Amino acid sequence: MDIPAGLTESAFFKLLGCRLHSLETGVAQVALGLEPQLRNRGGKLHGGALFSLVDIAMGLACSSTHGFDQQSATIECKINYIRAVSDGEVMCTARVIHPGRRTLVVEADVMQGDKLVAKAQGTFAVL
């Protein structure tokens, strides 16, 4: 996939420490390591960081579907399952399951190795 420079990594993407693993039409994989600044008071991966990872991966999957020349906005994003993460790295794989002209429906799984960390669903509007 040929993507203009700078369109896959926002300032927030970099601030969190995300790493783009792969990007194909309708599918994005984004990794996030558990760094000290991403921990909650209990020492686990903060839920906000996990949610942001999911939203970033879903947004990239949408952009790879409708084109990076268009923008999309999150209408709804919900995490249906979540498990605590104490160390290592997690990988979010987001897939567009309904590529409509005006809205896209996306599913995402966050894995740590072979263990499921989170499952999410989202709806995005093409602007």
Overall domain count for the chain = 1
Which of the 8 DSSP states describes residue 20?
Answer: E
Asked whether 44 and 12 are in contact (CB, 8 A), the reply is no
What tens digit of pLDDT does each residue of 68-108 get?
989 999 999 999 999 999 999 999 999 999 999 999 999 99
Q: Tell me which residue has tokens 């409509």.
A: 100
What CA dihedral angle connects 124, 44, 14 and 82, to 10 degrees? -20
Which of the 8 DSSP states describes residue 66?
Answer: H
Q: What is the CATH number of the domain that holds 80?
A: 3.10.129.10
**What pLDDT does residue 41 have?**
96
Element (H, E) at 2: none
**What pLDDT does residue 7 have?**
87
In the chain, the percentage of residues whose pLDDT exceeds 90 is 93
Strands (E), 34-88: 72-82
Q: What is the pTM of this model?
A: 0.95
Range of the structural domain that residue 48 is part of: 5-126
In the chain, the percentage of residues whose pLDDT exceeds 70 is 97
